[in-house]
């Protein structure tokens, strides 16, 4: 039973341990922390940029597969 409690405490601290440095350190400027806000915005744009690249690759692969299948169907139907 004690092991479960220790494991629960350790697992509850993982989000803070994995947080960026700006998010881990409490701000000294009061409730508004420009460093943390800037880091959050940069992280959001970085994630959106990476998702856009992945979606562009998947979209272009899908377009290529669909156009190739249509071309093969037209070639098969004309013979």
Average pLDDT over residues 33-39: 61
> Is 22 part of any domain?
no
Give alpha helix (H) positions in 1-79. Answer: 2-12, 14-18, 21-24, 34-78
- DSSP-assigned letter for residue 53: H
Give domain status of residue 6, yes or no. Answer: no
Residue 54 lies in a domain: yes
Residues above pLDDT 90, as percent of the chain: 29
CA proximity to 20, closest of 53, 2, 57, 46: 46
Q: Which domain holds residue 73?
A: 34-79
Q: Is the pTM of this model over 0.85?
A: no
Yes or no: say if 36 and 22 are a contact pair by the CB < 8 Å rule: yes
Total domain count, the chain: 1
């Amino acid at each position: 039973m004690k092991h479960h409690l220790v494991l629960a405490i350790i697992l509850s601290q993982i989000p803070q341990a994995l947080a960026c440095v700006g998010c881990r350190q409490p701000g000294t400027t009061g409730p508004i922390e420009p460093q943390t806000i800037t880091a959050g915005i940069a992280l959001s744009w970085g994630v959106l940029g990476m998702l856009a690249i992945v979606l562009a690759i998947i979209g272009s692969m899908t377009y290529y597969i669909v156009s190739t299948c249509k071309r093969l169907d037209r070639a098969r139907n004309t013979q």
